[in-house]
Structure formats: C-alpha cells, structure tokens
Amino acid sequence: MTKFANAGQMCVAPDYVLVHNSVREKFVAMLKETVLNFFSEDPSTDYNYGKIINEKQFKRLIGYLDNGTVVWGGKYDSRKLYIEPTIIENILPDAPVMKEEIFGPILPVIAFEHFEDAKTIIDRNPNPLSFYVYTSDSKKEKEWLQAIPAGGACVNNSSWHFTNHHLPLGGRGNSGMGEYHGKNSFEVFSHRKAVMKTPTWFDPAIKYPPFKGKMWLFKKIMR
C-alpha cells in the first residue's frame, strides 16, 4: 500500500499493478478493503492520508481519471487539493497514465494471462526506477528479476528497499543514472581522479612507432 503513502507522491511508489487474470477480481476486492481499513471511509479527513503538493500537480492527476474505468475512489476536492485513493481498470496501452510517472494516488490495475503479455507492457517503458514482484514461487521470482532491468527491486513488498541504507538507490536508463545511500552517496557525489605514474627510468619502445611486428605483444599487454 505504499502506492497511497504520501498520497502516492514518492518516486518509488508503484505506477501500476500487473495481476494474473485468475486472481484479478479477488485482488481488486482485497485492495478496496485494505484502502478502506487504512484510510477510513473518508480519507479527506484521515490523519494518515495526505494531499497533493500544489494545484499544478492536482490538475495533472485529475486528467488521468478518464484514462480508464474508476472501480474505487475517484472523488476529489480542488479547494483542499485532495484526491481520493483511486483504482482504475480498462486502461488503453497508449493512455497518458501508462506513459508518464503518476506521482499521485491513482493506481491502474491491469490483468494479464501469460508472462510475455505482462513483460510486453513493462517493456513499453523500460528500465523502471523500481520493480516489485509478489510471489511464493522461487522460480517465478528469479524469472521476473532476471527478465526486467530496473534500478532496484523488492520481492513481496514495495518501496521498502528505499529505507535500507545498505542498499544502493538509483535508476538506469530513462529512470536515472548513479546510486546513492550510505557509502554509495559518498561515491556518487565525489570525483575519483585517475592518476597513472610512470618512473623516469621505464620507457619501453613498444609504446612508439614503428609498430610493425609489435602489435601482438602490444595487444597482449593491453589486455
């Protein structure tokens, strides 16, 4: 449920959920129940639920509500910059909500039948900052983690790798470059200057022309 923590305004919050067809209805029903238990029947007055940071982001998020069918939530109040925890289904692949970082409390739920179907959806926006796998099958766990390049990953939880300072946090490709946290923070914000020193008495002829007859040795040394 880190999707709705801070009203979804976290870089490591899930942007969508892929759930197998066989458990989709059960999953959505339990998700609705959990949202209700966590944030009460009126999240707008609940201490544990936040508001959107500013009007610009609020308007952007409201625009996503018509990208699919709202099956839970969908209420909002522009005066309070409040958007209810919202679950949407029946989203078209090219909908804006599937192509942009949501950064808000709107969760698309997408059903799939086969591994390759789900992977195709992920591959439309490759190299996510975070990737989360929920399974009790170690074989499936390994298959997913190896198949999906991502900045970081969790198994059977979401976003909590962010809290572990022993784990590097960072993206790859479109989701960013570099890593921080703990020692990684020191390294990413430091520049290690490479210096090679050669003694004055050592100046092998292999460094200089003519190179004919030397290349095999040069390649062997450089390797």
Check 1, 11, 53, 95 and give the catalytic one: 11
Give me the sign of the Cα torsion angle 146, 109, 62, 53: negative
3-state secondary structure 60-122: HHHHHHHHCEEEECCCEECCCCEECCEEEECCCCCCHHHCCCCCCCEEEEEEECCHHHHHHHH
Say which residues have a Cβ less than 8 Å from residue 141's Cβ, sequence separation at least 6.
133, 135, 155
C-alpha 204/C-alpha 86 separation (Å) is 70
Q: At what angle do helices 115-123 and 138-147 cross, to 10 degrees?
A: 30
The dihedral over CA atoms of 51, 57, 62, 67, expressed in degrees to the nearest 10, equals -120
> Is 154 known to be catalytic?
no
The catalytic site residues sit at 11
